Amino acid sequence: MTIADQNLVKKMNRRRLLQEVIHHSPISRASLSKTTGLNKSTVSAQIQGLVDEKFIFEIGQGQSSGGRRPVMLMFNKQAGYAIGVDIGVDDLTVLLTDLDGSIVSEHYFELEQSSVNETMALLLKTIEQVIRTMPGSPYGLIGIGICVPGLVNRSEQIVLTPNTHWNGVDVKKQVEEAFNVPVTIENEANAGAYGEHIYGAAKAFDDFMYVSISTGIGVGLVLNNELYRGVHGFSGEMGHMTIDFNGPKCNCGNRGCWELYASEKAFRQSLPADWDEKELNKRFQQNDVVLFRSLENFGHHLGIGLVNIANTFDPEAIILRNPLIESNPFVLNAVKNTLSSRMNVRFETECAFLPSTLGKNAPALGACSMMIESFIKGITA
Ligand SMILES: [Zn+2]
């Protein structure tokens, strides 16, 4: 074996061991040797390196069948921190997490009619404040992941945000220059899918769709355990699939797009104009017939598009991200009624339709997990 080969093997062993400790700590050196098949001296040497670099620490004593009890190894999830940002159409979320994705601090803002410049200033100020109050750690801030509701190309440039005006704004460069850490820009539905996959409702699935329903509808596709971005990074624009070819014009250029019927915006437009949030809540409590008919219609329209998605991908699950669906089973039941009346019966048992478990934090948590993953890759590169 050449020296280059030996180095490569060392790096691979190191990555393997760190992943084992991350996913199975507390774990002993002996168990690591057993689960990885690496000999004890390799395990000891590599682990010592990771302990010296503060990625792993040792704790007390584990259980042993006899003799000296082994020291257990833990992943030091506080070795560094990640920031996840979700720039929504009318709100902004900034989360600080440790390397395990646990939220350390969370910041939410309503954007109302804020301009892009105002939102950018608020974002930079918030990140600065988060960094200032971040707990001390060996590696500090390891990266900032930012997601936007629009098209992000493979060079992480925002090329189209139909409901806001971020297209052409170089968010990546501005944030990188301000904080001098790695920055990733991602589409909101892709980040949400990633978040649910790592920490939420889709942990157990390798093939699933994440459907984010708000002003528009965005879909994140995880196929074969990987985010599917498409050639240019523009996959998942299923909010713009036609469900009525004679339907109204959409601002994407198409007609009768799914999101014109099944977005939360469309649902709200179906309600009487004078119903504000308070009125909506009151009628919700009262099981108001007009409201519940509208909710049923919302679920029905969602179901129509979901049938197309399920027929196309044959996924294990479809995760639905919307507060109305997460807070009340009624809409999801309406969705399921539409599905069962329009799909082959086997789908009812073979594809799970589930509400998001991370809720509004899903995209920002996904953005954090992307930064954490690339940091961990970097440790063992
Ligand atoms: Zn459209």
Mean pLDDT of 168-182: 95
Tens of pLDDT, residues 300-321: 999 999 999 999 999 999 999 9
In the chain, the domains with their CATH numbers are 3-75 (1.10.10.10), 81-192+363-379 (3.30.420.40), 201-357 (3.30.420.40)
Residue 235 CA, ligand 1 centroid: distance in Å: 14
pLDDT in tens, 70-83: 789 999 999 999 99
Average pLDDT over residues 224-234: 94
Average pLDDT over residues 342-369: 90
CA of 292 to the centre of ligand 1 (A): 27
Is 70 exceeded by the pLDDT of residue 182?
Answer: yes
Q: How far is the CA of 233 from the centre of ligand 1 (A)?
A: 18
Token couple for 51: 């302990």
Confidence label for 279 from pLDDT (cuts 50, 70 and 90):
very high
CA of 356 to the centre of ligand 1 (A): 24
- In this predicted structure, what is the pLDDT of residue 380? 76
Measured in angstroms, how far is the CA atom of residue 264 from the centroid of ligand 1? 15
Going from the C-alpha of 144 to that of each of 100, 139, 345, 374, the distances in angstroms are 15, 14, 44, 11
Please, are residues 97 and 103 in contact by the beta-carbon 8 Å criterion? yes
**Phi, psi (5° rounding) for residue 302?**
-65, -45
62 pLDDT exceeds 70?
no
pLDDT above 70: residue 64? no
Burial (CB count within 10 angstroms: exposed 0-12, middle 13-18, buried 19+), residue 247: middle
Confidence (pLDDT) at 67: 66
- Please give the average per-residue pLDDT across 268-273, as a whole number: 93
CA of 5 to the centre of ligand 1 (A): 52
Q: pLDDT: is 125 or 341 the higher one?
A: 125
Decide if pLDDT at 32 tops 70. yes
User: Under 8 Å CB-to-CB from 354, ≥6 apart: which residues?
Assistant: 201, 317, 318, 319, 320
Indicate the pLDDT class of residue 345, thresholds 50, 70 and 90.
Answer: low
- Rounded to the nearest angstrom, the distance between the alpha carbon of 93 and the centre of ligand 1 is 26
CA of 345 to the centre of ligand 1 (A): 30
Q: What is the pLDDT of residues 8-29, one digit of tens each?
A: 888 899 999 999 999 998 999 9
CA of residue 13 to ligand 1 center, whole Å: 48
Q: What pLDDT is recorded for position 65?
A: 63
- With residue 92 as reference, give the H or E element that holds it: strand 91-98
* CA 297 to ligand 1 center in whole angstroms: 20
- DSSP for 116-160? HHHHHHHHHHHHHHHHHTSPP-SS-EEEEEEEESSEE-TTS-EEE
| Ligand 1 centroid distance, CA of 196 (Å) | 26
Q: How confident is the model at residue 165 (pLDDT cuts 50, 70, 90)?
A: confident
Q: In this model, does residue 161 exceed pLDDT 90?
A: no
pLDDT of amino acid 362? 98
d(CA 142, CA 182): 7
Distance 160 CA to ligand 1 centre (A): 13
Q: Report the DSSP pairing between strands 27-28 and 217-223.
A: unpaired
CA of 70 to the centre of ligand 1 (A): 60
Give me the phi and psi of 217, to 5 degrees please.
Answer: -125, 125
Q: Ligand 1 center to residue 62 CA distance, Å?
A: 58
Q: 88-109, pLDDT tens digit by residue?
A: 988 999 999 999 999 999 999 9
* Ligand 1 centroid to residue 162 C-alpha, Å: 10
Is the per-residue pLDDT at 61 higher than 70? Answer: no
Mean residue pLDDT of the chain comes to 92
* The length of the chain, given as a count of residues: 381
CA of 276 to the centre of ligand 1 (A): 27
